[in-house]
Amino acid sequence: MSSVVTDQKPLALSSLSDEEKMFQEAVRDFATSEIAPVVNAMDEEQAMRPELISQLFELGLMGIDVPEEYGGTGADFFTAILVVEELSKVDPSVAVLVDVQNTLVNNALTRWGNDEQKQRYFPRLTSDLVGAYALSEAGSGSDAFGLACRANQDGDDWVLTGQKLWVTNGHEAGIYIVFATVDPEAGYKSITAFLVERESEGFTVGKKEDKLGIRASSTTELVLDHVRVPAANVLGDVGKGYKVAIETLNEGRIAIGAQMVGLAQGALNHTLRYVQEREQFGRTVGEFQGVRFQLAEMATDIEAARLLVYNAARLKDSGEDFLIPSAMAKLFASRMAQQVSSLCVDLHGGYGFTREYPVEKLYRDSKIGTIYEGTTNMQLQTIANALLR
């Protein structure tokens, strides 16, 4: 079945400006015309179409809140959230590529990069260079700062040695923000962020993971074998990488919430169409009260998650504290997406269990929401700490 559906307009759209609505509509048209026809093929091939990535750059979606002087769109963080949501309705794999580029890589460079780094990398990050964010390791997942990757100073350079895992965009990227420790005895206070170019000697993109969902999005390991990185490529201050990581991920979680909202909305859109076409016992499935009530429950849950996500994004753009709102948005939206996409499979009956209909893929894609950029338990811990401090 095609991934093209008529969008069920959410109530929260009333909070958008005319400019935001126009931008959202343009992204929706692109997703429907260019991404939808290749969603299934990319999922089966476990690969992103290069021409799609080029189009994302051409549309300005890879540098949404980067200043125009560097080639970016010059929009705000909230606009990036809208883009992630819209793309996720059709393919969360494409959405997460855009998400990582904007809310992690570009965001970190905006906040922590110096003028020389911005002038060197932003013109390419907004035109043809995909970025990736390399924090996790084999023994460092939720314990994000238990890093084994080492950085030793050698003259004016740093030499990085170690391995990174679960790197989104790892296959497509040309620049990586790599976190390493410069002094293991100093713990998290020695973690430092480095801008590492793919062509660096000793740098290898390793195994590509074979995943349950978001299969077109590459997730790879990175191997750093005495990779020499100039001091000019330290992002932020030496020993302050933990701040880069924490504060960037706090914003990235809002985008994951948006991804899950878009995914759930996409699944509901497909289901609304299906229940109005599928007939049982002489009438459409959508005429049964039990089905109608389930649709109403799903729409309400999606709207609640959307409002949590939008609120966190607005707080971020206004300079207010958004730590707890971002954790709540990701927690609720990721749980909601699994529940909604699962129910949508149920409402499709036997067809929902096949790859003929898009809801099967969206159900698989939903699982990652409770895992990456902070698991459900980590979000609960963050919220509980705030309540009890």
Identity (one letter) of the amino acid at 136? S
pLDDT tens readout for residues 122-143: 999 999 999 999 999 999 888 8
pLDDT tens readout for residues 233-268: 999 999 999 999 999 999 999 999 999 999 999 999
CATH of the domain at 173: 2.40.110.10
Least confident of 13-27, 169-183, 356-370: 13-27
pLDDT tens readout for residues 153-166: 999 999 999 999 99
Is 373 considered catalytic here?
A: yes
Catalytic annotation, pick one of 86, 137, 221, 373: 373
Please indicate, yes or no, whether residues 185 and 247 belong to a single structural domain of this protein.
no
Please indicate, yes or no, whether residues 181 and 58 belong to a single structural domain of this protein.
no
Please indicate, yes or no, whether residues 115 and 17 belong to a single structural domain of this protein.
yes
Query: What does the pLDDT read at residue 5?
Result: 47
Please indicate, yes or no, whether residues 233 and 358 belong to a single structural domain of this protein.
no
Per the structure, the complete domain to which residue 103 belongs is given by 11-125
Is a pLDDT exceeding 60 seen at residue 1?
A: no
Q: How many of the other CB atoms lie within 10 Å of CB of 333?
A: 29
* Among 76, 92, 125, residue at a domain's last position: 125
Please indicate, yes or no, whether residues 99 and 176 belong to a single structural domain of this protein.
no
Give the 3-state secondary structure of residue 358: coil
* Among 240, 262, 292, residue at a domain's last position: 240
Please indicate, yes or no, whether residues 344 and 250 belong to a single structural domain of this protein.
yes
Please indicate, yes or no, whether residues 201 and 226 belong to a single structural domain of this protein.
yes
pLDDT tens readout for residues 66-86: 999 999 999 999 999 999 999
What pTM, to 2 d.p., does this model score? 0.95
pLDDT tens readout for residues 308-349: 999 999 999 999 999 999 999 999 999 999 999 999 999 999
The total number of structural domains that make up the chain: 3
Nearest alpha carbon to residue 125 among 176, 80, 198, 62: 62
Q: Which residue in the block uniquely carries the two structure tokens 């985008």?
A: 255
Tokens of 234: 């330290």
* Among 74, 102, 125, residue at a domain's last position: 125
Nearest alpha carbon to residue 5 among 265, 360, 338, 311: 265
Q: How far apart are CA 41 and CA 216, in angstroms?
A: 9
CATH of the domain at 353: 1.20.140.10
- Would residue 382 count as lying in a domain? yes
Average per-residue pLDDT for the chain:
95
- Would residue 42 count as lying in a domain? yes
- Supply the DSSP string of 186-221, one letter for each residue: GGGGGEEEEEEETTSTTEEEEEEP--SS-TTS-EEE
Give, in degrees to the nearest 5, the angle at Cα 205 between 330 and 43. Answer: 55
